[in-house]
Amino acid sequence: MPKGTKLAELAGNDGGNSYRVQKDGTVLDKVHIKGDLLITAFNVKITNSQIDGGVLDEYGGKKYSFSISDSTVGPATGCLTMPGIGESNYTATRVHIRGHGDGFRASGDNINIQSSYVYLCSNPGDHSDGIQTYMTGRGLTLNNTTIDQRDAKDVTAPIFIVDNQTVDVTVTNNLVMGGTYSIQVKNARGSVVVKNNSLVNKSWIYGPIEADCSSPMEWSGNQLVTIDDNYNITSVVGPLPCK
């Protein structure tokens, strides 16, 4: 959100500091929620806001829909194991996720993540991921997003897309670092595009990628890079082939 944005605190209405939205088309603009935001309505819009917990749209086995932009999700200190944003039918644009073991959860159709920043942490026993698929459906896009997992210790991957229910995946123009294998894209069906991503050289534990290289996947333009403290690319080490 823009610096100096004044936020109105929303008192919890769903137990403790948690806030629940139940009306379709609700707009939350310039609000501060000190706990979780639970969405049990359709077409909810969140802008220029701060949510200290997570933003979730699945409840009682039913999934809803929302968009979130120009907002911060997660506590300023500490680490929450649960995902920052999930589960399905959402668009996240220019979102900063902090203080979460998992950044984005993908557990359904129509997930579009654009121009966001995820700084991951972990608690003992976590399997931290920047984005994790779980019972995912059709239509997942991750574009122009920075995922930093270097300071998390109990980790899987910045990009962990391995669910065999996933159909039609686009992973493009992202900057990632850390994890066991930093980019994992496996088992997806339909159109699978992994293109023009930058991976910070030697930031991984075991290796740079795990991917279904022999399947019909468009893998091109991916590269190993070095960066400065502001995530600017300082050099291109070389191409990142799928092998």
- Asked if residues 38 and 12 have their Cβ atoms less than 8 Å apart, the reply is no
Residue 93 CB neighbours (<10 A): 18
Q: Which two tokens stand for residue 225?
A: 């890079």
Q: What is the DSSP string of 43-82?
A: SEEEES-EESS-EE-EETTEE--EEEEEEEES-SSS-EEE
Q: Among all chains, which residue has been given the structure tokens 């700084």?
A: 119
Q: Are 202 and 176 in contact (CB under 8 A)?
A: no
Distance CA 139, CA 61 (A): 20
Which pLDDT does position 58 carry in this prediction? 94
The tokens for 19 are: 């806030």
Q: In one letter, which amino acid is 27?
A: V
Sign, CA dihedral 68-171-98-21, equals: positive
pLDDT per residue, tens digit, the chain (243 aa), is 777 789 999 998 988 889 999 999 999 999 999 999 999 999 999 999 999 999 999 999 899 999 999 999 999 999 999 999 999 999 999 999 999 999 999 999 999 999 999 999 999 999 999 999 998 999 999 999 999 999 999 999 999 999 999 999 999 999 999 999 999 999 999 999 999 999 999 999 999 999 998 878 999 999 999 999 999 999 999 999 998
Q: What is the pLDDT of residue 39?
A: 98
- The predicted model scores a pTM of 0.96
Q: What is the pLDDT of residue 215?
A: 78
Domains of the chain, start order: 20-239 (2.160.20.10)
